Amino acid sequence: MIKNNNELTDNLFALVKSLTASEKRQFTVYAGRVAVNSESKFISLFKILCAQAKYDEAAILNSTDITKQQLSNIKSHLYTQILTSLRLNPAVRSVPLQIREQLDFAMILYRKGLYQQSLKVLDKIKSLALLYEEKITGYEIVDLEKIIESQYITRSRPNRADLLIEQANELSHLNSVANVLSNLTLHLYNLFLKNGYVRTPQEKEEVSAHFFANLPPYDEQRFGFREKLWHCQAYVWYSFIIQDFVSCYKYASRWVALFDKAPHLIAVHPVFYIKGNHYVLESLFYLNRTKQFEAALDNFEAILASTDIPEDDNIMVLSFLYVYSNKLNLRFMKAEYTNGDELLDTINKKIERYRDKVDDHHIMILYYKMACLYFGDRKYDKCIYFLKKIMDNKSTQLREDLVCFTMILNLAAHYEAGQDYRLEALIKSTRVFLSKMNHLHEVQKALMAFLGSLPQISPLQLKDEFRRFHGILSQFENHPFERRAFLYLDLLSWLEGHINDEPIATVIARKVAAKQKV
């Protein structure tokens, strides 16, 4: 619900600006039919908002006969009319919307006393609702059937009441299971955004205890597509948080396989299908399976280009986020740090294009990956530029571990850029900031101590110091809770580059080539 005039204004303006040229034409035709005349005030408001680059209330009042007292009601009316017009647009008339509309029609027929007609509509859409896994609506359909059957003599087929009771009980049970699983998934997602991955065996035990305590008792044999989907999602997030990426790959693959076995549901739930494919890629990245990852990314791009995936703003935004995030991941896996300007410029332009539709967390993740790529390419000024964007962001959506790694990489980038005059002040401010964090990885603590000591070390002792720290850091390379720190930026290779006077990209490329020969 829109609570105040400012919120209404922001929402209306954003809605108008989201309309395509085709949707604007359709609304103009629709509004011309419902309006008293073609110059109705809400149509005048619509035309002005379409022309404005930024909301300007004074211009609206000066160029129309809308008074300030009327404006709020007219904005509310326009907002409703645009949504009604969009609902009638064939391009957005999804199966769930069609089922919901038919349920509304059945309710109208029921209230008119046309019970048989209402039951006929309900019977038809119930089959459709169950086919497309719309079980919440399916329960509402059965509930209305029960009302009609219990109040009026419809002369339905024998055992009709028993059948409806059985359907209602089964749908109620499955809806309850899906609700618990979806709640658990949402809780895990929020936990991940707040704290990131587990850092200690104790944290892993706590998350595991919470997860299994909140899993509902279930018989998987009774599960349909929707319940299996939520089950997979819950396990994917649980596996991510405890850093069990083999399990994550297993459940993400099952998630995608559900859609592959029921392709008619891809167009109905494209977001879930896209997210499932993304988590397959994310798991392969963390498992460092480069060939599988590259093949899966090619397949993902082919899926997005297929006719099974509808074209809308939501899909376009998700496609951008997941395709380009994984293109960056592939570069890290293949040690391709150089010649990335064209890719990064494209990402930056798309961020600006979709900024109003993408949350801060996902944008900052892209900025961090871009900074890592520039660090590997020894373009430290550009690296610092993107890290500063993250540090200047005051959003509470950002994960603690992202902020920590950003600040530490910022120190390393300033050191590499030769900006020693700023290093001591940065180290001090970073220490103060990190001291307020609830949890730090051991890698982060070690890096902070090492970078903090660099200004006091003489140039003649630097290589020895890098060797010493390499020995410390190498202990964490295969640590179950610390190894993820080496994925975007191979810190050991960075140290080896200083020890051997080589660029980090050269060191990593040699390791990748050696791995491929095995």
Q: pLDDT averaged over the chain?
A: 89
Higher pLDDT, 453 or 52: 52
Q: What percent of the chain has pLDDT over 70?
A: 94
Cα separation of 106 and 109, whole Å? 5
- Give the separation between CA 411 and CA 253, rounded to whole angstroms: 39
Q: Is the pLDDT of residue 127 over 80?
A: yes
Of 478, 213, 493, nearest to 335 by C-alpha is: 493
Convert the pLDDT of each residue in 85-98 to its tens digit. Answer: 998 887 667 899 99
Cα 217 from Cα 226, distance rounded (Å): 16
Helix, coil or strand: residue 418 = coil
Q: Convert the pLDDT of each residue in 286-324 to its tens digit.
A: 998 999 999 999 999 999 998 888 888 889 999 999 999
- Give the H/E segment covering residue 405: helix 400-416
Contact 477, 486 (CB under 8 A): yes
Nearest to 200 by CA among 433, 445, 493, 396: 445
Q: CB neighbours of 138 closer than 8 A, spacing ≥ 6? A: 126, 129, 130, 171
User: Is the pLDDT reported for residue 12 higher than 90?
Assistant: yes
Rg (CA), the chain: 28
Whether the per-residue pLDDT at 1 is higher than 50: the answer is no
Q: What percent of the chain has pLDDT over 90?
A: 56
- Of 483 and 155, which is predicted with more confidence? 483
Q: What is the pLDDT of residues 444-503, one digit of tens each?
A: 888 888 888 888 888 888 889 889 989 988 888 888 878 777 766 778 888 898 899 888
The reported pLDDT for the residue numbered 146 is: 94
Where do the domains of the chain lie?
5-92, 95-156
| Confidence band for 154, pLDDT divided at 50, 70 and 90 | low
Check if the beta carbon of residue 140 is closer than 8 Å to that of residue 107.
no
CB half-sphere exposure, 45, CA atoms < 13 A: 28
Pick the most confident of 105-109, 361-365, 392-396.
105-109
pLDDT at 157: 65
Instruction: Give residues with Cβ within 8 angstroms of 404, minimum separation 6.
Output: 434, 437, 440, 441, 444
Q: What was the pLDDT predicted at 509? A: 84
Residue-level pLDDT at 437: 72
221 three-class SS: helix
Closest alpha carbon to 280 in 245, 308, 307, 242 = 245
Q: How confident is the model over 182-209, as pLDDT tens digits? A: 999 999 998 887 777 888 899 999 999 9
Global pTM value? 0.86
Q: Sorting pLDDT into bands at 50, 70 and 90, what band is 38?
A: very low
3-state secondary structure of 397: coil
Minimal CA–CA distance to 437: which of 401, 473, 484, 489? 401
Residues 6+ apart with CB under 8 A from 68: 61
Distance in angstroms (rounded) separating the CA atoms of residues 112 and 107: 9
Kindly report the backbone phi and psi dihedral angles of residue 415, in degrees, each rounded to the nearest multiple of 5, phi listed first.
-65, -45
| The residue to which tokens 């997005």 are assigned | 304
Is residue 4 very low, low, confident or very high in pLDDT (cuts 50, 70, 90)?
low
